[in-house]
Amino acid sequence: MNKENKEEPKKEMAQKEKQENKEFKSEGKLLVKNKSIVVPGQVLAEGFDYLPSYGTYRKEDKIIANKLGLISMEGKVLKSIAMAGRYHPKRYDVIIGRVIDITMTSWRLGINSAYTAMLNSKEAGGNGRGYNSYPQKGNLSKTYKLNDYVFCKVTGVSDMNLVDVTTQGPGLRKLFSGRIIHVNTHKVPRIIGKKGSMVNMIKQATGCKMIVGQNGIVWLQCEPKVEAIAVDAIRKIENESHIPGLTDRIKEFLEKKTGKKIEEFTNEAPKDEENRGN
Amino acid sequence: MTYKKRLDGRKMNETRPIEAKAGVIKKADGSAYFKIGKTWAYAAVYGPKELHPRFLQNPNTGIIRFSYIMMPFSGMGERIRPGPNRRAKEISMVSQKAITPVVNLEDYPNTVVDIVVELPQADAGSRCAGICAASIALADAGIPMKDMVASVAAGVVDNTVCLDLSYAEEAYPQFAKEKVDSEHVSDIPISCIPSTGEITHIQMDGIMKKEQMAEAIKLATEKCKEIAEIQRQAVKDRYNNKGGI
């Protein structure tokens, strides 16, 4: 008798648990496809089976997008990858900045972000024109003048969004001559490609020197004839990066414009100086 | 006679034809137009960027600055003097307050997002069109926001509640073909967050009964949900049709 009494409540408990589980599982419902474009306010999923991550939030039992982006699912986690917006500085990013102000001991750089970056005179790697180009006290504009473009690396981003950069390091320098273009920050990984494949293809086809900053500022130095082709190629990548088959299209575009065939290239970066840091 | 048939033949709960498009201004971070009938609003968003003068900065969050401008020959009457006047300043302020509740700028302390709305032509309901255009432009600029803000006006013309009044309806006694019962025309522009039904902005111009007001608010908030869908589609279409501009 005692045994039965003990077992009965256990059975009941187990049944209850099963029921609860069933109800819980039937709730989850996904309303978007993977890799689709979502906009703020769009309901992505209902129920508690899915988890919100970057660019999404939970409201009661719904997961809603709060940014324009491409949806990316990792298991049950819903994340939206941003497609527009300003650059967020991150440590170790290599970026291109423009000198907008010179203080007693530092340069302030505009970096296409909501905040400006500080380049301390101790972090300056010279302007690439000899020993005397290193900053001396009170004479910072001998190294970098106002409106100079500098290829630099982010050394730290504080909680209050103070961004520190350096120009000491391989490949980091002041940018002479050439042309600067601005692209969407979020398309930079596509312009660079896997291990720099895309940017190397453009370099190979046009013979340009090119630096792509993570902040969406691109520096080009080309022969005048091919400059327009390189810029067009970058714009094409920017506009069509979300449509599959990008590499082939860009290859075709470059071959057509330059009239030269692009050989099977390797992903190894050419050995010139401009590629370091990318 | 009560107002049974509308001047342009619409139903009472029908808006004028809406057209919206994102990404129309090249140099802006985000942009859009929103056209409702003959009222056209173009919006451009710049930022987030550092805010000057510094005493306006908020270390907790970024802020929104809204500028509503009617272009010189956009009105029905004489040339409008360009630049902010008393009316434009007020509308800029209410529009900014209508947009602010949905925007999350906590990640961007001490910054500002500038919204500029210009109206090349206006035929009543311009602040609503401006707010709709601004929220498409904000989404297009990739600014984090809970939801779109949709906005539409509802009003009473000759004792009949109707949606999205045109200029001719706002001045109904002047344009009426029949004798009017009531000289009063009133108008309530409403902005709301469609997902929660919260109202972020409401104004009233004129006199109306309690029941009429309840009906007008109900009509407008329901319509806002449909408008929000048009706004979201506008942002998506920019990417479906090979890159906007």
Q: Kindly report whether the global pTM for this prediction surpasses the value 0.95.
A: no
Would you call A47 exposed, middle or buried from its count of C-beta atoms within 10 A (0-12, 13-18, 19+)?
middle
Please indicate, yes or no, whether residues A194 and A277 belong to a single structural domain of this protein: yes
Residue A209, C-beta contacts closer than 8 angstroms, at least 6 positions apart: A178, A203, A220, A221, A222, A272, A274
Half-sphere exposure of A245 (CA within 13 A, CB side): 3
- Closest-CA residue of B relative to A40 is B147
Which of B26, B49, B114 should we substitute to test contact with A (largest number of A Cβ atoms within 10 Å)?
B49
Query: A23 to each of A20, A27, A47, A58, B209, how far by Cα in Å?
Result: 5, 7, 11, 20, 48
User: Chain A within 8 Å of B235 (Cβ-Cβ)?
Assistant: yes
Does the beta carbon of B149 lie under 8 angstroms from any beta carbon of chain A? no
Spatial contact of B105 and B58, defined as CB atoms under 8 Å apart: no
Per CB-CB distance under 8 Å, the chain A contacts of B148 are: 39-41
Shared domain for A96 and A56, answered yes or no, is: no
Instruction: Among A44, A60, A82, identify where a domain stops.
Output: A82
What does the pLDDT look like over A147-188, one tens digit per residue?
999 999 999 999 888 999 999 988 899 998 999 999 999 999
Best of B63, B143, B226, B231 to mutate (most A CBs within 10 Å, chain A): B143
Is residue A7 a part of any domain in this protein?
no
**Measured between alpha carbons, how far is B77 from B95 in angstroms, rounded to an integer?**
24
Asked if the Cβ–Cβ distance from A55 to B148 is below 8 Å, we say no
Interface of B with A in 59-78 (CB under 8 A): 59, 62
Q: Is B146 in contact with A239 (Cβ distance < 8 A)?
A: no
Chains A, B: CB contacts within 8 A come to: 84
What pLDDT, on a 0 to 100 scale, did the predictor assign at position A275? 45
Q: What is the pLDDT of residue B245?
A: 40
Beta strands in B62-204 (DSSP E): 63-70, 111-121, 150-157, 160-163, 185-193, 198-202
SS3 of A209-264: the string is EEEECCCCEEEEECCHHHHHHHHHHHHHHHHHCCCCCHHHHHHHHHHHHHCCCCCC
Specify the pLDDT at position B5. Answer: 87
| Pairwise CB contact (< 8 Å): B195 & A59 | yes
Q: Do A64 and B243 touch (CB under 8 A)?
A: no
Domain boundaries, chain B: 18-238
Determine the residue of chain A that is closest to B145 in CA distance: A66
**Residue B15 CB partners (closer than 8 Å, separation 6+):** B36, B37, B152, B163, B164, B223, B227
B48 contact residues in A (CB cutoff 8 A): 86, 114
Does residue A183 sit in the same domain as residue A228?
Answer: yes
Residue A10 maps to a domain:
no
Half-sphere exposure of A82 (CA within 13 A, CB side): 20
Closest to B30 (Cα-Cα) out of B145, B144, B151, B134: B134
- Taking the Cβ of residue B139 and every Cβ of chain A, the question of whether any pair is shorter than 8 Å is answered with yes
Which residue in A68, A181, A239 has the most chain B C-beta atoms within 10 A of its own C-beta, making it the best mutation to test that interface?
A68
Closest partner residue to A240 (CB to CB) among B111, B145, B242 is B242
State the residue for tokens 């306006």: B56
The length of chain A in residues reads 278
* CB contacts, 8 Å: A41 with chain B: 145-148, 194-195, 228, 232
| Structural domain contains residue A271 | yes
CATH number where A218 lies: 3.30.1370.10
Chain B environment of A243 (Cβ under 8 Å): 242
CA dihedral A197, A92, A117, B28 (to 10 degrees): 40
Looking at residue A258, its pLDDT comes to 85
Domain termination residue (choose one: A82, A106, A122): A82
Of the ranges A22-31, A109-118, A190-199, B125-134, which one carries the lowest mean pLDDT score? Answer: A22-31
Among A64, A82, A100, the domain-final residue is A82
Please tell me which residue of chain B has the smallest CA distance to A62. B195
Number of Cβ within a 10 Å radius of residue B11: 10
Average pLDDT over residues A211-226: 93
Does residue A36 sit in the same domain as residue A77?
yes
Question: What whole-number distance in Å separates Cα of residue B105 and Cα of residue B23?
Answer: 22
pLDDT (0 to 100) of residue A274: 46
CA A83 to chain B, closest CA, distance in angstroms equals 7
Whether residues A150 and A218 share a domain: the answer is no
Cis peptide preceding A52, ω within 30 of 0: no
Contact across the interface for B239 and A85, Cβ inside 8 Å = no
How many beta carbons lie within 10 A of that of residue A32, not counting itself?
Answer: 18
Q: Within this chain, do residues A27 and A78 fall inside the same structural domain, yes or no?
A: yes
A112 to chain B: nearest residue by CA?
Answer: B49
Between B95 and A272, name the one with better pLDDT.
B95
Host domain of residue A243: 177-278
φ and ψ at B3, to 5 degrees? Answer: -85, 100
Q: Verify that A109 and A128 share a domain, yes or no.
A: yes
Query: ipTM of the assembly?
Result: 0.88
Same domain, A182 and A272: yes
A194/A266 same-domain check = yes
Query: Which among B47, B59, B139 has the least Cβ separation from residue A40?
Result: B139
**Angle at CA of residue B177, ends B175 and B180, nearest 5°:** 85
Query: How many domains, in total, are found in chain A?
Result: 3
Tell me if B109 and A37 make a contact (CB, 8 A cut-off).
no
Q: Which CATH number fits domain B18-238: 3.40.1640.10, 3.30.390.30, 3.30.230.70, 3.90.1150.10?
A: 3.30.230.70
Find, in chain B, the residue whose alpha carbon is nearest to that of A117.
B50
Q: Would the pLDDT of A44 be above 50?
A: yes
| Blockwise average pLDDT, block size 10, chain B, 245 residues | 84 95 94 96 95 94 96 89 92 96 94 96 94 97 95 93 92 82 88 94 92 94 95 91 47
- Interface check B242 vs A, CB under 8 A: yes
Tell me the average pLDDT across A79-107.
93
A59 contacts B48? CB cut-off 8 A? no
Residues A190 and A276 reside in one and the same domain: yes
> At A273, is the pLDDT very low, low, confident or very high (cuts 50, 70, 90)?
very low
pLDDT for A243 equals 78
Q: What is the model's pLDDT at position A142?
A: 86
Which pLDDT band, with edges at 50, 70 and 90, does A19 fall under? low
Which position has the token pair 């129309």?
B24
Tokens representing A190? Answer: 């596509």
Q: Residue A271 belongs to what H/E stretch?
A: none
**Residue A228, in any domain of the structure:** yes
Q: Which of B146, B240, B243 sits opposite A40 (nearest CB)?
A: B146
The tokens 């960027």 sit on which residue? B49
Residue A251 in any domain: the answer is yes
Cβ neighbours for A163, distance < 8 A, ≥ 6 positions apart: A89, A111, A113, A115, A116, A117, A118, A154, A156, A157
Same domain, yes or no, for A48 and A90? no
Tokens (6 digits) for A144: 């970098």
φ, ψ dihedrals at A154, nearest 5°: -80, 125
Q: CB within 8 A of A253, min separation 6: which ones?
A: A232, A233, A236
